[in-house]
Structure 1
Amino acid sequence: MSDRSRFRRMITRLLALPAAAALGIAAAATASAIGEPLDPAHAHNDYEHERPLLDALDHGFTSVEADVWLVNGELLVAHDAWEVQPGRTLESLYLDPLRDLVHANGGSVYPGWDGSLQLLIDIKNTGEATYAEIDATLRRYQDMMTRYVGGRVRPGAVTAVISGDRPLAAMQAQRLRFAGYDGRLGDLDSGLSAGLMPLVSDNWGNHFTWRGDGPMPAAERAKLADIVQRAHAAGYRIRFWATPDEPGPARDAIWSELLAAGVDHLNTDDLAGLRDFLAGR
């Protein structure tokens, strides 16, 4: 089906739907028409942008981060407890528009893309109880989710990964899961399978002193290369948070070294800045 025919079909669907549902698909259609997917681009605290998820997709991001709080049985998205607002749920901000996109684009988030968008869900409170609600919620969207069955991975259009207050034992006990576990550098030699722990993330400043000023020290460059090599040998992806994020030469130097070492996700709040940096390369 041509893009024009697909667009006409979507408009027909919009006219036949209730207003709320139509708005969701319309937003998804807009996002699907803009942006070229950039594999390393991770939107840190994505929900703080004017249009959560959709701004990131407009800029080609393939990984987004949502902090969630379990409040009265709802998964509310916010950085701090005092910022939670009714209606800003994991479903309304992320899962519903992603499902609209996946259905509109023939099974992928970006048209014609064969990748899986990473949804990093950072649990902020009551770890195991919050995870149980996340698990129940993701099961309602299982048609688009990557699933983990008995150690095997069945890729989907969206891959959820649990960060923050992560209940490892509860996740290990599940034969069927719809999310992976976000490890730390201390887990590199744990022997955990990539089918349980697909991602390893850590605070840059806890392991490196270089902040992008001048050349990267040779010992730290070697340390970074070793971390990435060990992670990839075990099948894990690597991400660092708290890297310098102010526009300028220091940030570009950090990003350049991370890319050269093979780090999988570059963490930023500056969507346009990272898109332009990657486009320039």
Structure 2
Amino acid sequence: MRQQIIALCVAALAIGAGCTSPKENDTRDVMVVVAGDLHFDLPPETDQYYHVVTMNRLEGNFTFPTDSAAPGIAGETVRKLDGVIIAGDMFDKARPEILAHYRSRYEMGPGEKTIHYPVYPGFGNHDIDPAVSDKGADNLLGRAFSLHYLDSILNDKLAKGEILNLHPSSRSYSWNIQDVHFVQAQRFSGDTAYCESNLDWLADDLKRYASEGNPVVYIQHYGVDPWAIKWWPQDARNRLFDILDNYNVAAFLVGHTHEPSLQHYRGYPIYQVNNAWPDEDGNGSFAVVRLKGDAVSVASCRWTDDKGDFEVVGPYLSDTLPRIIDQSIHYNAFSHNDYWRENPLEDALAFRFNCVEADLWLIDGELYVSHERPEPNPAITFENLYLKPLIARIQANGGKVYPGSDRPFYLMVDCKAQGEEMYKVLKKQMEPYKEYFCSVENGEYKEGAVLFFLSGDRPAKSLPKETSRFTFLDGQIKDLGKGIPASLAPVVSDNYADFFTWNGEGEMPENQLNKMREIIGKVHEEGKLFRWWGAPDTEAFKRFFIQEGVDLVGADELGGLYNVLDKHSLAKAKD
């Protein structure tokens, strides 16, 4: 079967199967439904056909609300539905009778309980790992059963020219409706649990079919809410968004969590569709996506009975193309305890943060990264986790961590103990790379790609005596006014809780606010950057710190701080 699919892929690409001539923006009008988490189970059927009956009634009846949709779409009744996309978890188990039940509803055909539109299937975790048994072998048999069905559908669509491009291993595929390019990535892009990664395929697909600026609608099962994101590896996320950043992504839709919501990640509003049956948040619902001209709107359609009656509900997304992804370097973003992340350093760089922190321990002459004293392990040495990756990136980017950056990248080390001894080892270890670091030579500051400074148990005795060095100190509030130059301590950091009691509720008391402004003002008068640590890790605090001029704002959760900094995308989303 897979060999047949590969052959059809080659043939389709050779003849341009399924390609449609790009439309002018003012004639583009595409509407699709995205449904997730159908979870077809064993008969008898209860409410699983309610979705289908409702979808079949959308034409001539569905209207985006006037106050929650983009101009040109708001208040206009839809006349044509172009297809139904499934964002994973089609089946709850892999059984022939369940498959037959699904096919009677979601394979295009006549009758009010059978879908009337082309269906673009997608698999989720229940489809890839069906709950047929606790035994691994039975699970693999169930997976093979489900994938065989998906292969037959995609094989047929490819042969008929209904899809453009197929990655046979992951079963990811793409198609066009007018000039809108759709990508179905199955469980998630970068999945390797049952297949080869689709990421190279995706990069090639978008280059081939979306490089003229035409809109892209991307669908996969896993999203970025707190429950789903743990299923989706960070390195796969990083690569996916690096790819998508080069294209005009009109909408990004996911399933999995059984709750409609609008999340934000790296500048993208990610629309999470609901499940198909009644639960705590009400009846089942699905997303309706419309692109008209340069306008994009998404809303949820919740069925109210078995006759196809429905209500239009949120969350609502309204946007205008082209989507502009903020490629700014976030100079004030500080990745606190960066080494705790799935991919130390790399995750912060993916969010374009300009400062990271690593805690160091000196053990038997080697430097290890850890919050608590670790067991020696080559995988967590400072050189392997931070120095070598940073230097490789600088060399690849023409001498900068970020091409086009107008200032150094900040690398802070918290010396957990033995600061003076640690500094001796650090100097020796960093000597081969010193040309890439900011330095002081004979008392004069020279800028480099990275400013490296030490906090915690600092070498406060030996380092200030050196007239030539490529390491700096983290200052403290008590050091202000003592004549310590920025060329020695370019950053001042201190514990928020040692100075303030305000926890973010209501307004900060005036006396505390004045005290904070006085501290920050003194730091800036000395030409230094300022950072609080130990403050509540909330978005409200981050906004407050930015408003008050804190230069380096810490984050344990990178996405939360990114959303605070990325005002553009948040302003366009309306719940």
Shorter chain as normaliser: what TM range? 0.7 to 0.9
Amino acid at match of 1:240: W
Q: CA RMSD in A?
A: 2.1
Name the structure 2 match of 1:47: 339
Name the structure 1 match of 2:78: none
CA distance in 1, matches of 2:239, 2:489: 33
Name the structure 2 match of 1:167: 459
Does residue 280 of the first structure (1) align with residue 572 of the second (2)? no
1:18-33 matches, cutoff 5 A: none
Amino acid at match of 1:276: N
Name the structure 1 match of 2:468: 176
**Structure 2 gap ranges (5+):** 1-235, 246-326, 569-575
Does residue 238 of the first structure (1) align with residue 525 of the second (2)? no
CA distance in 1, matches of 2:488, 2:450: 16
1:184-203 matches, cutoff 5 A: 184-203=476-495
TM-score (norm 1): 0.84
CA distance in 2, matches of 1:55, 1:36: 16
**Secondary structure in structure 1 of the residue aligned to 2:493:** strand
- What is the CA distance between 1:84 and its match in structure 2? 5.0
Amino acid at match of 1:116: P
Name the structure 2 match of 1:92: 384
Which moves more between the two structures, 96-105 or 252-261?
Answer: 252-261
**Secondary structure in structure 2 of the residue aligned to 1:128:** helix
CA distance in 1, matches of 2:367, 2:565: 33
Does residue 76 of the first structure (1) align with residue 351 of the second (2)? no
CA distance in 2, matches of 1:58, 1:38: 11
Name the structure 1 match of 2:254: none
Name the structure 1 match of 2:504: 212
CA distance in 2, matches of 1:94, 1:113: 19
Q: What stretches of structure 1 move > 3 A for 4+ residues in a row?
A: 33-36
- What is the CA distance between 1:30 and its match in structure 2? 6.3
Residues 149, 177 of structure 1: 8 Å contact kept: yes
Alignment partner for residue 353 of structure 2, among 47, 52, 61? 61
Which moves more between the two structures, 134-143 or 176-185?
Answer: 134-143
Which entry has the higher C-alpha Rg, 1 or 2?
A: 2
State the identity %: 39
Name the structure 2 match of 1:128: 420
Residues 543, 564 of structure 2: 8 Å contact kept: no
CA distance in 2, matches of 1:93, 1:86: 9
- What is the CA distance between 1:36 and its match in structure 2? 3.8
- What is the CA distance between 1:135 and its match in structure 2? 1.6
Residues 108, 114 of structure 1: 8 Å contact kept: no
Does residue 270 of the first structure (1) align with residue 557 of the second (2)? yes
CA distance in 2, matches of 1:65, 1:80: 14
- What is the CA distance between 1:191 and its match in structure 2? 1.1
Does residue 252 of the first structure (1) align with residue 539 of the second (2)? yes
CA distance in 2, matches of 1:36, 1:137: 32
**Secondary structure in structure 1 of the residue aligned to 2:390:** helix
Name the structure 2 match of 1:155: 447
CA distance in 2, matches of 1:30, 1:101: 16
Name the structure 1 match of 2:231: none
Q: Identify, as 1 or 2, the structure richer in helix.
A: 1
**Secondary structure in structure 1 of the residue aligned to 2:374:** helix
CA distance in 2, matches of 1:46, 1:234: 28
- What is the CA distance between 1:150 and its match in structure 2? 3.3
Greater RCO, CA 8 A, separation 6+: 1
- What is the CA distance between 1:117 and its match in structure 2? 0.8
